[in-house]
Structure 1
Amino acid sequence: MPLLNTRPSMAMKICVGLSLVILVGLGSWQVDRLFWKQNLIEQRETQATLPPIAVPVDVELDPAMAFRAAFAEGHFLNDQEKYLMARTLRGNVGFQLITPLEQEDGRIILVNRGWVPTDNRDPATRPESLIETPVHVTGVLRLPREKHWAQPENDALANQWFYVDVDHMAEDSGADLASPYYLELDDNPVPGGLPIGGQAKVQLPNNHLQYAITWYSLALSLIVVFVIYHRRPEDDKDTTDRKDAA
């Protein structure tokens, strides 16, 4: 059976060409994202495994310090807890507990102590978390982030915070900031089991290779379909044309 080698219309060529450009472009973008994510994960893991340093005070914010292993000492101001809302852990809804840590000079370092279930928002339900004695806590340095367009505004009066604003949180606590960073604690055991530390995302999901393969596979499939369609047996082509005409 002879093969029918038809010439595709200009419109089809343009559609297929644009589709290929888009699919290949998306695949290449995912490859770029793959290497970016790998470098980001490597940087975070390296920073988090370095010997801990004291949380820097009286310094300018340095983005290169993000996720640097660090420690802090002081007294928790338990009456000034801040609730970072809409945070989940293994599918459970809750919040992350940020408590000012008072230094000897009266200034504070903000400490994200970890995740707490919604039912334990009232401090009376977790009395062991209200540590009154001096503490030495360890974790990683975090940089305050700008408000995302989709996030609600922080509501200090309701004690509902949706992003970390260290300046506003310090002002609401009635204290001066000692550091532009905040400390996110590790998963060391704590009295009573709450808050649950180790919420810093040092390990990040990296599915960009699968996404790249998907886009490139779709591009290849489009090429195969395009070629097969224009090199079908002549009888099949005639049958298809008659059906279309009917």
Structure 2
Amino acid sequence: LLIGFIPVFTFGLGTWQMYRLQWKLKLIEELEEQLAKPAMDLPRIINVGALPEFEWRRVTVKGIWDHAHSVLIGPKVRDNEGGYSVVTPLKRPDASTIIVDRGFVKKDRAEAARDNSDPESRVDGEVEVTGMLRLQPKSNSFTPENQPEKGLWYWPNIAELVDYSGGNKAGVQPVLVEALDQRDIGQHLADMKRGVPIGRPPKVDLRNEHATYAVIWF
């Protein structure tokens, strides 16, 4: 009986993975359509409850970086270089402050980018950022807990970043925008060398391994 049950069981798992594959492909298609829409401006006070409807939507935001509350999240690797993400609150004029993942910097330029202390990458005054709205990213079981009191950040826990930036009393909302990299390859490489944060590519990158699992079970 057990031997006869195994093929039925594995076939069921394979069928379920195919269903999940179709669901994931449809979700990715919907999110890519969302990302392809023109960038929109965020309201002065953001309705946080409505954010799930706008995840992956392009937005344009203006404000001044709150460098005093910048953090480095990582370590991570990009273009075969080790480094960190620079995450900084953006103080919008006459509006709430939001959290912006400005992008990747190499390890040897990371602290200077965080502190805005390097003349080659220093940014003062008002900036305009094009990015996309994101909900709370997930950590995995291998990711350590953040230790804000020690300046150790391993993943972007939005609630912790908001608290670190002053919280509701400072007008900080739990809104995360990931800056998009729209440079050509030459400017991309030059800015990375200078220690300028490099935003993420404008594409949906959801993990999708259901086809592999389906092959295994079938």
TM-score, scaled relative to structure 1: 0.71
Is residue 177 of structure 2 the alignment partner of residue 183 of structure 1? yes
Which moved further from structure 2: 136-145 or 194-203? 194-203
CA RMSD of aligned residues (A): 2.6
Matches of 1:16 and 1:30 in 2, distance apart? Answer: 22
Is residue 155 of structure 2 the alignment partner of residue 153 of structure 1? no
Is residue 25 of structure 2 the alignment partner of residue 38 of structure 1? yes
The change in CA–CA distance for 1:177 and 1:201 in structure 2 (over 3 A counts) is farther
1:138 to 117, 130, 154: 130
Give the drift of 1:32.
1.7
1:15-30 to structure 2, matched below 5 A, reads: 15-30=2-17
**What stretches of structure 1 of length at least 5 have no aligned partner?**
1-13, 217-246
Aligned pairs, number: 203
Q: Retained in 2: the 8 A contact 1:128–1:192?
A: no
1:215 is aligned to 217
Q: Retained in 2: the 8 A contact 1:184–1:200?
A: no
1:34-183 to structure 2, matched below 5 A, reads: 34-56=21-43, 57-61=45-49, 62-105=51-94, 107-123=96-112, 126-145=118-137, 148-174=140-166, 176-183=170-177
Instruction: Report the identity percentage.
Output: 31
Matches of 1:200 and 1:94 in 2, distance apart? Answer: 20
1:226 is aligned to none
**What stretches of structure 2 of length at least 5 have no aligned partner?**
none
Matches of 2:212 and 2:136 in 1, distance apart? Answer: 32
The change in CA–CA distance for 1:149 and 1:55 in structure 2 (over 3 A counts) is farther
Q: Retained in 2: the 8 A contact 1:78–1:130?
A: no
Give the drift of 1:63.
1.5
2:204 is aligned to 202
Larger radius of gyration: 1
